[in-house]
């Protein structure tokens, strides 16, 4: 079948040159497609904010992206992840201590704020050894405050790419203050990356930057090299906190919403562990109910909101031919059904009696 009309259900044309799929097979056909180790469905310019460098996650050129991947992917090996466990434990422990300290107060806790601080503190340290101390100080850092302030501009830029005729109207919402915030954020990010460059080989613990610029590597000598490092570091930082805080929130939301699931989970954890200090990443793998709950949270509260757009090379997706150049998105919301309660079919383990 050749895509050429407007379909309802699993395939929908949402723009003259854009189609949305909502089937598992479509995702496999798109994201697993490669030739000679290179993606054939390339990324779009949706996340191009005019820096001149796509970094890693937002890079459109498959060849450039593959070269960066050779450096970054080893950072996620089992050995590399284990080397970072102590850092993760430190921040999780601090979060738990803070919840014990202030969680029982009558006014309660603004959990979205605390989950953001936890995720950002942890990601900044894991990415380039930066200590933000937001949980310790119980307030946003200047860096986070500035980043949050630029969200509107990023949204306006993306909308303008989707609807070019609206680009002039976007300027009406772009205040001088917003542009100033963007400039400030870019400067802050550049300064932090430079600090990490100067500190290579002298960090407290391993981080992702070690793989971008090893301790024995020379410092970048050109602006282009520096901008590339800034982009990759920033993208790893975003990827390290945004999906994490969303998933944390989703887990807590469903536990509050489903008391029986909460009770089963508490029972399994307290049966397995006698104290908080007994909990380790290795031992958590054996908790089937916990693992099923986390997987179900991923399904029902998926953190990706952009649809992961790709440009078609001219290929068949789930039995439908998509012409070359057509943009293709994947609807995560439509792909995963959302029943009123967490379905027991996905919670494969029986709750403790």
Mean pLDDT of 70-88: 93
Residues 6+ apart with CB under 8 A from 273: 279, 283
Q: Could you read off the pLDDT of 203-255 as tens digits, one per residue? A: 999 999 999 999 899 999 999 999 999 999 999 999 999 999 999 999 999 99
What does the buried/exposed string (b/e) look like for 227-248 if buried means 16 or more CB atoms within 10 Å of the residue's CB?
bbbbbbbbbbbbebbbebbbbb
pLDDT reported for residue 353? 42
The yes-or-no verdict on residue 330 having pLDDT over 80 is: no
How many angstroms separate the CA atoms of 95 and 65, rounded?
35
How many angstroms separate the CA atoms of 87 and 281, rounded?
13
pLDDT reported for residue 165? 78
**CB-hemisphere CA count at 13 Å for 277?**
0
- Quick one: what percent of the chain has pLDDT higher than 70? 88
- pTM of the prediction? 0.85
Q: What's CA 341's distance to the chain center, in Å?
A: 26
pLDDT reported for residue 341? 47
The yes-or-no verdict on residue 171 having pLDDT over 80 is: no
3-class secondary structure, 190: helix
Q: What's CA 313's distance to the chain center, in Å?
A: 26
348 or 265, which is more confident = 265
- Helix (H) / strand (E) containing 122: helix 111-128
Class of domain 55-244: mainly alpha
Q: What's CA 345's distance to the chain center, in Å?
A: 27
In which band, very low, low, confident or very high, does the pLDDT at 181 lie, cut at 50, 70 and 90? confident
Q: Could you read off the pLDDT of 275-289 as tens digits, one per residue? A: 999 998 889 988 989
How many angstroms separate the CA atoms of 229 and 252, rounded?
35
14 or 262, which is more confident = 262
What does the buried/exposed string (b/e) look like for 170-208 if buried means 16 or more CB atoms within 10 Å of the residue's CB?
beeeeeeebeebbebbbeebeebbeebbeebeeeeebbb
Q: Could you read off the pLDDT of 189-217 as tens digits, one per residue? A: 999 999 999 999 899 999 999 999 998 99
- Helix (H) / strand (E) containing 305: none
296 or 91, which is more confident = 91
In which band, very low, low, confident or very high, does the pLDDT at 45 lie, cut at 50, 70 and 90? confident
């Amino acid at each position: 079948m050749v895509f050429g009309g407007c379909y309802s259900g699993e395939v929908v044309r949402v723009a003259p040159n854009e189609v949305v799929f909502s089937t598992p097979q479509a995702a496999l056909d798109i994201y697993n497609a490669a030739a000679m180790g290179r993606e054939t469905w390339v990324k779009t310019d949706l996340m191009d904010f005019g820096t001149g460098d796509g970094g890693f996650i937002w890079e459109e050129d498959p060849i450039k992206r593959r070269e960066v991947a050779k450096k970054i992917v080893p950072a996620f090996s089992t050995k590399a992840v284990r080397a970072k466990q102590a850092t993760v434990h430190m921040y999780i422990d601090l979060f738990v201590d803070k919840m014990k300290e202030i969680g029982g107060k009558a006014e309660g806790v603004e959990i979205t704020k605390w989950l953001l601080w936890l995720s950002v503190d942890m990601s900044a340290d894991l990415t380039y050894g930066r200590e933000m101390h937001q949980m310790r100080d119980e307030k946003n850092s200047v860096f986070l405050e500035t980043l949050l302030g630029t969200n509107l501009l990023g949204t306006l830029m993306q909308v303008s790419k989707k609807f070019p005729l609206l680009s002039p109207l976007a300027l009406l919402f772009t205040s001088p203050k917003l542009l100033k915030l963007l400039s400030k954020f870019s400067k802050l990010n550049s300064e932090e990356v430079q600090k990490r460059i100067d500190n290579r080989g002298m960090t407290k613990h391993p981080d992702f930057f070690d793989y971008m610029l090893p301790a024995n590597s020379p410092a970048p000598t050109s602006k282009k090299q520096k901008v590339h490092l800034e982009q990759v570091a920033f993208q790893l930082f975003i990827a390290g906190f945004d999906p994490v805080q969303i998933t944390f929130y989703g887990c807590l939301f469903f536990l509050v919403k489903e008391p029986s699931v909460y009770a089963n989970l508490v029972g399994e954890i307290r049966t397995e562990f006698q104290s908080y200090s007994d909990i380790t990443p290795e031992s958590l793998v054996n908790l089937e109910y916990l693992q099923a709950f986390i997987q179900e949270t991923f399904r029902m509260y998926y953190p990706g909101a952009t649809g992961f757009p790709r440009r078609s090379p001219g290929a068949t997706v789930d039995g439908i031919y998509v012409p070359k150049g057509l943009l293709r998105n994947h609807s995560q919301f439509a792909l995963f059904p959302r029943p009123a309660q967490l379905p027991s079919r996905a919670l494969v383990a029986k709750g403790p009696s």
